[in-house]
Amino acid sequence: MAVRTIAPDIYSVGAVDWELRLFDALIGTPQGTSYNAFLVIGQEKTALIDTVEPRFEEDLLKNLMRIGISSLDYIVINHAEQDHSGTLPLLLEMFPGATAVTNEKCKDLLVHLLQVPEHRIKTVKDGETLDLGGKTLEFMITPWVHWPETMITFEREQGVLFSCDLFGSHLATSELFVRDFTDVIGPAKRYYAEIMMPFAASVRGAMEKIADRDVRVIAPSHGPFYDDPSLIMDAYAEWSSDRVKNLVLLPYVSMHGSTRKMVSVFTDALIEGGVEVRPFDLTSSDLGEIAMTAVDAATIVIAAPTVLFGPHPAAFHAAYVLSALRPKTRYVSIIGSYGWGGKTVQNLTDTLSHIGAELIDPVYIRGYPKSEDLTALRNLADTIVKKHEGVITRP
């Protein structure tokens, strides 16, 4: 990515990864991503804020050359994850006068993950500042806004918040600033769902911390930047709140059609009751879409047949991932079909219990659904309709 000016003497010097389709060997990135790094040039000192994924070190080095940087005073590391810190060892080698600046917990991780020599790291505390000459960097420690050591850096004079993973999106784009939020809200929500949702309380804490700062630009470490910070801050306020929507997330899998029939009847009953429903066939669905739906859904129902005495593995995987993401979902339930016996309901109940939602009695039947089974499914839908009346926020 070319060098771009964010504000006077504040540059974007990172890299765009147009081709990435799987991040952390874990989450889908259908629109690629970027590894954003920033150069802040003060009258006396120069600081690089974050680095890039090591595969893109050449892009970063070329950008520094283009600006004419022959020495660096500080390399601020907001987060020890390698896609932001991975080029630090090379930079410390190339710039022997540079000092890495981070917090105590991040230092510990940098020493262990990247074998950065301790004497090259200066630690800062929450609220501490670094004066570059006409540009003041303020460090705000924001634990668990992804990892335990995460922090964010605020440039006071121009009001630029280098928010690291907070407010990020996996989106490769040639746009520097978000111009049409409808293009970005999907990737930003997907990012929130997959990275931030397990830490919603910490996200709220970080947002409270920055609330009284005069933030004019938000520059996250992935995706485009915001010169209207309210766009992403309002979205985050909603996603991280405890408000839920009149929506059922229904991931399902079926081998021979019994569970599929149940899903169909149950879906219709929910729609008739005025509840929005999003069924996802787990054999062909993107887990990111499922996670995004979980951000708002008041209820999650997993639909699965029994395979080898437990849930179909695709359903177990979905239940496991959803429980790890800890959505604000209020109710969970299970529907599905078995042939002779097993522990599917117990297994899925245990897995989903980590969400901390109320379990509504499952409808787990033998074989193809009979009329009494369909009645039980309609009753389950009615129960959900009533439960939602008490918890949803009407627009």
Ligand X SMILES: Cc1cc2nc3c(=O)[nH]c(=O)nc-3n(C[C@H](O)[C@H](O)[C@H](O)COP(=O)(O)O)c2cc1C
Q: Which is nearer to ligand X, 198 or 342 (CB)?
A: 342
Among 328, 323, 329, residue whose Cα is nearest residue 349 = 323
- According to DSSP, the residues that pair with 160 across neighbouring strands are 155, 217
* Of 100-108, 123-131, 165-173, 335-343: span binding ligand X (CB under 6 A): 335-343
Q: According to the binding rule CB under 6 A, does residue 26 interact with ligand X?
A: no
Which residue from 31, 306, 333, 347 is in contact with ligand X, where contact means CB under 6 A? 306
* Of 194-202, 264-272, 277-285, 338-346: span binding ligand X (CB under 6 A): 338-346
Which residue from 68, 96, 97, 341 is in contact with ligand X, where contact means CB under 6 A? 341
What's at 96, amino acid-wise? Answer: P
Q: How many helices (H) and strands (E) does the chain have?
A: 12, 24
Write each residue from 64 to 83 as x if it is in contact with ligand X (CB under 6 A), else as -, in one continuous string: --------------------
Which residue from 23, 56, 239, 338 is in contact with ligand X, where contact means CB under 6 A? 338
- 366, 335 Cβ separation under 8 angstroms: no
Q: Which is nearer to ligand X, 273 or 305 (CB)?
A: 305
State phi, psi for 94 to the nearest 5 degrees.
-75, -30
- What is the rounded CA–CA span in Å between residue 171 and residue 242? 27
């746009």: which residue's tokens?
175
Q: According to the binding rule CB under 6 A, does residue 267 interact with ligand X?
A: no
The CA distances from residue 19 to 24, 32, 164, 178, in Å, are 14, 5, 21, 20
Length of the chain: 395
Q: According to the binding rule CB under 6 A, does residue 8 interact with ligand X?
A: no
Site for ligand X in 356-375 (CB under 6 A): 367
Q: What is the DSSP string of 138-177?
A: EEEE-TTSSSTT-EEEEETTTTEEEEETTT------S-SB
Q: What is the helix (H) or strand (E) element at residue 38, kind and residue range?
A: strand 38-41
- What is the rounded CA–CA span in Å between residue 333 and residue 28? 27
* Torsion, CA 56, CA 57, CA 62, CA 68, rounded to 10: 140
Minimum Å gap between C-beta 349 and ligand X is 17
Minimum Å gap between C-beta 333 and ligand X is 16
- What is the rounded CA–CA span in Å between residue 80 and residue 189? 23
Minimum Å gap between C-beta 368 and ligand X is 7
- What is the rounded CA–CA span in Å between residue 60 and residue 57? 5
Q: Which is nearer to ligand X, 124 or 262 (CB)?
A: 262
Which residue from 117, 133, 148, 257 is in contact with ligand X, where contact means CB under 6 A? 257
- 192, 293 Cβ separation under 8 angstroms: no
Q: According to the binding rule CB under 6 A, does residue 259 interact with ligand X?
A: yes
Q: According to the binding rule CB under 6 A, does residue 28 interact with ligand X?
A: no
Site for ligand X in 92-151 (CB under 6 A): none
Which residue from 153, 221, 258, 329 is in contact with ligand X, where contact means CB under 6 A? 258
* Of 37-45, 166-174, 302-310, 318-326: span binding ligand X (CB under 6 A): 302-310
Count of residues touching ligand X (by CB under 6 A): 18
Q: Which is nearer to ligand X, 283 or 393 (CB)?
A: 283
Q: According to the binding rule CB under 6 A, does residue 351 interact with ligand X?
A: no
Minimum Å gap between C-beta 260 and ligand X is 6
Minimum Å gap between C-beta 378 and ligand X is 19
Minimum Å gap between C-beta 317 and ligand X is 16
The CA distances from residue 251 to 30, 154, 283, 320, in Å, are 20, 41, 10, 12
Footprint on this chain of ligand X (rule: CB under 6 A):
254-259, 305-309, 337-342, 367
